[in-house]
Copies of this chain bind each other. A is one copy, B any other.
Amino acid sequence: MANSKYEEKTVKTDPIFKGKVISLQVDHVRLPNGEIATREIVKHPGAVAVLAVHEGKMLVVEQYRKPMERSLVEIPAGKLEPGEDPAEAAIRELEEETGFRCESVRPVASFFTSPGFADEILHLYVAEGLTEGVAKPDEDEFLDFSAIDLATAKRYIAEGRIRDAKTIAAVYAWQMHALTGSYGP
């Protein structure tokens, strides 16, 4: 499918770390000009996120994000379990984090979050057929669930409370749907 004329052939891989969420390796690669370079590569199982709009408001969770040492307001999201279908994972995460069930999810976009150093792919869905319920987050997830209208979402972006790629993409998708009838980029 994609052009690979600049392919970087692996000469050697140094495994550095294997954690609960990510692993890290350093690949020694041969560049197209014959020289050797290193590539620092984070492996990640992939993730899902859900744009869920209920009565004109987007469902969001606020949680502490240790890498930034601050909390962020984000759409419901989570890592893929091994072998898990992304659409099913999206439905599961939505219910765990917000209590809302949905009949189905429709793909909006899938994207690599940091293609320079990580293989993480994030699948963004829009939820259809929402019904309210009770949240049941994982034991080590501490989340505040809320629902915000578009004006609030834009204010949160301006204030930096919303500041992650998937939630920014979701807010674009939400507005795009209002303007054109389509969520996609």
Q: Is the Cβ of B164 less than 8 Å from the Cβ of A175?
A: no
Q: Say whether A64 contacts B7, CB under 8 Å.
A: yes
Contact of A21 among B40, B64, B68, B142 (CB under 8 A): B40
**How many identical subunits does the complex contain?**
2
With known contacts A120-B114, A185-B168, A66–B27 Cβ distance under 8 A:
yes
Neighbouring B residues of A20 by C-beta, 8 Å:
38, 40
Cβ-defined partner of A67 (8 Å) among B47, B118, B154, B176: B118
Per-position 1/0 for A55-97, Cβ under 8 A of B = 0000000111111101110100001000000000000000000
**List of B residues within 8 angstroms of A163 by Cβ:** 110-112, 121
Most buried by B among A35, A65, A166, A171: A65
Contacts of A169 in B (CB 8 A): 165, 168-169, 172
Across the interface, A16 reaches (CB within 8 A) one of B17, B27, B175, B179, namely B17
Q: Which 6 A-B pairs give the minimum distances between C-beta atoms? A: A172-B172, A6-B142, A165-B165, A67-B119, A6-B64, A39-B66
